[in-house]
């Protein structure tokens, strides 16, 4: 992720679901881990929904997963946590 140091342990994102074709869910989680059962965003067809998400970083990566139709996703980096 651009602008995030390698020592970052988590990132803070403003995640937005845009123009979903059906109702659905969006989950953001650490790369290489099992997708959690709880979603970060729930949205209806055609809704634009945003949520603040803090997610641990694994080897500089995170994963996104959506369930239900297709959806465009934006993620704005607001900050990060890093060890000293």
Question: Of 3-7, 37-41, 77-81, which range is least confident?
Answer: 3-7
**Mean pLDDT throughout 51-70?**
94
pLDDT of residue 60: 87
For the question of whether the overall pTM of this predicted structure is more than 0.85, the answer is yes
Q: Three-state secondary structure along the chain?
A: CCCCCCCEEEEEEEEEEECCCCCEEEEEEECCCCCCCCCCEEECCCCCEEEEEEEECECCEEEEEEECCCCEEEEEEEEEEECC
pLDDT for residue 2: 63
Q: So where are the chain's domains?
A: 8-82
**Given this model, what pLDDT does residue 41 score?**
96
pLDDT in tens, 43-56: 999 999 999 999 99
């Amino acid at each position: 992720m651009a602008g995030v140091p390698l020592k970052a342990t988590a990132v803070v994102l403003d995640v937005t679901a845009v123009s979903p074709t059906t109702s659905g869910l969006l989950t953001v989680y650490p790369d290489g881990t099992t997708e959690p059962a709880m979603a970060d965003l729930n949205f209806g067809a055609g809704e634009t929904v945003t949520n603040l998400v803090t997610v641990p970083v694994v080897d500089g990566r995170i994963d996104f997963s959506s369930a239900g139709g297709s959806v465009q996703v934006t993620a704005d980096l607001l900050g990060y946590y890093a060890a000293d």
